[in-house]
Amino acid sequence: QLQLVESGGGLVQPGGSLRLSCAASGFTLDTYAIGWFRQAPGKEREGVSYISSSGRTTNYADFVKGRFTISRDNAKNTVYLQMNSLKPEDTAVYYCAAPKRGTVQAIYNSYAYDYWGQGTQVTVSS
């Protein structure tokens, strides 16, 4: 069974940067697309970014475009989310997720994803 573990969260000041990692075990990650989601207290889970299994296709939610970069290193079985120019509104628990098949149609539909990590907390505050 594919297992995903997020890491790299923490406390950062507005304008700062964090690099989140999503590490896979059980299977190699190179056949899986990965979506990043986040959920703030009292709010619904929302899609943040997406990367295809090959890394050829990436996508970003409008509220992170120009600030976040998704990438993957399949040799290390890891997907990354580089977060720059962080805002207090980015405060949330961040999750990575993978579908059973390599791609999904609605990339920010949580129900399209079968495997989820435990989440990592990102707090942006002065």
pLDDT in tens, 10-33: 999 999 999 999 999 988 888 899
User: Is the sign of the CA dihedral 97, 87, 122, 10 positive or negative?
Assistant: positive
Q: What pLDDT is attached to residue 19?
A: 98
Return the higher-pLDDT residue of 102 and 5: 5
pLDDT tens digit sequence for 110-122 = 999 999 999 999 9
pLDDT, residue 105, reads 85
- The answer to whether residue 103 scores a pLDDT higher than 80 is no
Q: What is the pLDDT of residues 28-70, one digit of tens each?
A: 888 899 999 999 999 999 999 999 999 999 999 999 999 999 9
Amino acid at 97: A
Question: Is the CB of residue 112 less than 8 Å from the CB of residue 106?
Answer: yes
